[in-house]
Structure formats: structure tokens, C-alpha cells
Amino acid sequence: MLARQLQKIGFAILTSVACSTSERGSAKDTPVSRTSVDSSRVTTHEMSQALTRDVHESDRDLTAVEDSIYLFIGDSVSVLLKQAHASWVQYRKLECEAIRAAFAQGTMAPIAQMECWVGLTDDHRRFLAEQFDYMRNGRQPQVRPSR
């Protein structure tokens, strides 16, 4: 009974993560996204390869935003942001491991974990970029809709 509930919860979480607005997928026109349009079947291996690329791209994009912020602000604030980043990295790891655990019985576990990773990383990068834009230009960050 509990296993069924965990599977349902895991599926619901995966669906919400996969359906959230992200800059990845068809907007980036990856080979896998083109394959999924052309064909009704995409293997989990193909999904995993595409998501691995997305994970690396998300991490690179986040690092670029953080580096530009560190150059703009003083050393004392950079130290605090780096400490906060270390805590956020730990949160992301634990959150995505929990998603993976919900799918531990199937082949979608690594896919769900990487979708979580990309989603959280992209959200965090957008948040930091909005805050940096506000610091630099005085433009108010956008109000985020509640989820």
C-alpha cells in the first residue's frame, strides 16, 4: 500500500517538474527533442543522454551568473553568497535524490533525478540573475507566481 502511494507521489512530482516552464527541451532543439517530435518512441537511454547534456549546461549557466555577480559585488558579500551556494547545492542534491528514490523500482529513476536537477538549477539561476539585475540596474525583480 505504501509503495503504491510513493509511486503515485513520485509520478506527481515528476509530472510537475517535467511540466514546469524551463528553457530546456524543444526551445533548445536538442536531438532528443527532435526525435520525440518525429517518432513516438524515445528510449530512456536517449532521454538520459539529453538530460546529461542539459545538467552540464544548467550548471555552466549557473556558474556564469554567479561569477558575474562575484565580480560585481564586494568580497564580504561574495563569501556569504558562496556559503549560501554550498547550502543550496546540498539542498538540490537531497531533493533530487528523494525524487530518484520515489522511482527506484524503475528505469525512470535517473531521468526523474536529472529533470529535478535541471529544473532546480535553472530556477536558481533565474532567481540570481533577477537579483543581480536589480542590484546593477535598480529594476525590480519579477513577482513570481505561487506554485
Average pLDDT for 58-66: 91
pLDDT band at residue 145 under the 50/70/90 scheme:
low
Task: Determine the pLDDT at residue 147.
Answer: 55
Task: Determine the pLDDT at residue 11.
Answer: 43
pTM of the model: 0.64
Average pLDDT for 136-147: 61
Domains of the chain: residue spans and CATH: 57-138 (1.20.1270)
Between CA 3 and CA 63 the distance in angstroms is 38
3-state secondary structure of 141: coil
Task: Determine the pLDDT at residue 141.
Answer: 57
Q: Which residue has the cell 525512470?
A: 108
* Tens-place pLDDT, residues 80-91: 999 999 999 999
Average pLDDT for 103-117: 93
**Structure-block grid coordinates of residue 69:** 555577480
Task: Determine the pLDDT at residue 25.
Answer: 47
Beta carbons of 14 and 112 less than 8 angstroms apart: yes
Task: Determine the pLDDT at residue 139.
Answer: 61
The more confident residue out of 39 and 77 is 77
Mean pLDDT of the chain: 76
